[in-house]
Amino acid sequence: MTKTQQLEIDLPDKKYFTIGEVSEICQLKSHVLRYWEQVFPQLNPSKRRGRRYYQKADVELLIEIKSLLHDQGYTIPGAKARLSQSNYTQALVEDIEQVDNGGSLEKLKALHNELLTFKRYIQQRY
């Protein structure tokens, strides 16, 4: 189940969305979308001839950002930290899956060290 399915938003089946379409889908003003591009480095729509083109992953990220800020009460720095944590966690899950599928002992040791580093990071932040 994707984040979009969890939020019960059906995105049209197309590759690119204009800022107007994204604004309507996310129920956000276009100036808010442009501001979030500056604040959240993960959000990087392609730009051609001065126009923004968002892909589905960008729209899903915007929906997640909106949920964090508007529904869950995160501040912008808190939402940035949460998104960074989510990206890091997803990378670790992928690494674990790789180890489960015949990865090497060295990979497992490196993963263990990353988990310890992440644990220390979380303990310092919270």
Percent of the chain having pLDDT more than 90? Answer: 38
| Lookup: tokens for 24 | 């309507």
Which is more confidently placed, 125 or 36?
A: 36
What is the band of 111 on the pLDDT scale with cuts at 50, 70, 90? confident
Over range 78-89, report the average pLDDT.
77
Angle (CA) 117 73 7, round 5°: 90
In this structure, the answer to whether residues 56 and 7 fall within a common structural domain is yes
Its domain, for residue 48, covers 3-73
Query: What is the rounded CA–CA span in Å between residue 40 and residue 91?
Result: 19
Q: Is the pLDDT at 115 greater than 90, yes or no?
A: no
In this structure, the answer to whether residues 23 and 56 fall within a common structural domain is yes
In this structure, the answer to whether residues 32 and 65 fall within a common structural domain is yes
In this structure, the answer to whether residues 59 and 82 fall within a common structural domain is no
- Structural domain count, the chain: 2
Of 73, 95, 117, the one marking the end of a domain is 73
Percent of the chain having pLDDT more than 70? Answer: 75
Of 34, 55, 73, the one marking the end of a domain is 73
Sort 11 into a burial class: Cβ within 10 Å, 0-12 / 13-18 / 19+. Answer: middle
In this structure, the answer to whether residues 24 and 44 fall within a common structural domain is yes
What is the band of 109 on the pLDDT scale with cuts at 50, 70, 90? confident
In this structure, the answer to whether residues 49 and 65 fall within a common structural domain is yes
Of 73, 100, 116, the one marking the end of a domain is 73
pLDDT of the residue at 7: 47
Query: What is the rounded CA–CA span in Å between residue 99 and residue 71?
Result: 36
In this structure, the answer to whether residues 30 and 83 fall within a common structural domain is no
Over range 122-126, report the average pLDDT.
72
Q: Is the pLDDT at 114 greater than 70, yes or no?
A: yes
